[in-house]
Structure 1
Amino acid sequence: MSVAPTTIRVIIPLAIRKRNGRPKIVPPSDMAPETGGVDPHILKAIAKAWSWRRKLESGAVATMSDIAEAEGVTPPYVGRMLKLAYLAPAVLEKLLIARIAPTVSVKDLALAADLPWAEQARAVFADKENGID
């Protein structure tokens, strides 16, 4: 008569990748939702920015301070992240539809929103457009 082992060993291959300058453990691609290389934090930040923009435009909230209080963040953070709702359509298309990863952090992506639309793609995807990956 054989006895079943009491310990089960599960092996999941993980990789360590740098995201926004920090090491991050990422699961295999078949286990993680497909973001096409775009950091999920960037996608979430863009979605949040558009939600905040709609709330401001509809009158659901009166100020960025109202949003900050409701979200538990600071008004300067809301102001910085709200800029993501004003990225150029070409940049949003590359991020959200083509799923091309930016070469900058979320913070730098928000700063790029201050640039003219014609310059934003070059600032956000600089290395990708020059063939450097």
Structure 2
Amino acid sequence: MSTDSIQVFVPLTLRRKNGRPKILPPAGTVPEEDNLQNPHILRAIGRAWGWRRRLEAGEFDTAKDLAADIGLAERHVTRELKLAYLAPSVLRRLVYKREVPAVTIREMTDIAALPWVEQEAEVFGG
């Protein structure tokens, strides 16, 4: 070993998650904010906006037609489609700031029916 080199040991733990290896940071470290956001939330919001655009463009007449085309249950599509109607302030905090919601995706679909001024407090618990 050269005297000009330095060895650094970082105590990492390797764990399997969903069949894939995942490296866990040392105990006591705070993960980056990006790692806190559930990627399923961002995907669901992205899908909902894509479906909304397709419906508004007239590509499909109903959510039932859209669901049949993409191979999902109509109930699932109509429930998740509600995410495209979340308040802009909620979307900003979820998508741009990557804040973690205090509710599940399913609960968020119910919250989308509330007035925009109430949604933020419901989604982020404050």
TM-score (norm 2): 0.75
Shift of the 29–50 alpha-carbon distance from structure 1 to 2, 3 Å rule, reads farther
* 1:27 and 2:26 aligned: no
* 1:13 and 2:8 aligned: no
Partner of 2:97: 98
AA at the equivalent of 1:27: K
TM-aligned CA deviation for residue 36 of structure 1: 4.3
Structure 1 stretches lacking a partner, 5+ long = 1-10, 17-22
Partner of 1:8: none
Aligned residues: 108
Partner of 2:76: 77
Shift of the 65–27 alpha-carbon distance from structure 1 to 2, 3 Å rule, reads same
TM-score (norm 1): 0.71
Write the deviation string for residues 72-127 of structure 1: whole angstroms up to 9, x where unpaired.
Answer: 2111111111100000000000000010010111100111101110110111100x
Alpha-carbon RMSD: 2.8
1:50–1:82 CA contact under 8 A, matched in 2: yes
AA at the equivalent of 1:65: K
2:15–2:22 CA contact under 8 A, matched in 1: yes
Structure 2 stretches lacking a partner, 5+ long = 1-11, 26-32
Which stretch of structure 1 is more off in the superposition, 39-48 or 65-74? 65-74
Partner of 2:54: 55
SS in 1 for 2:64: helix
AA at the equivalent of 2:22: P
TM-aligned CA deviation for residue 62 of structure 1: 1.4
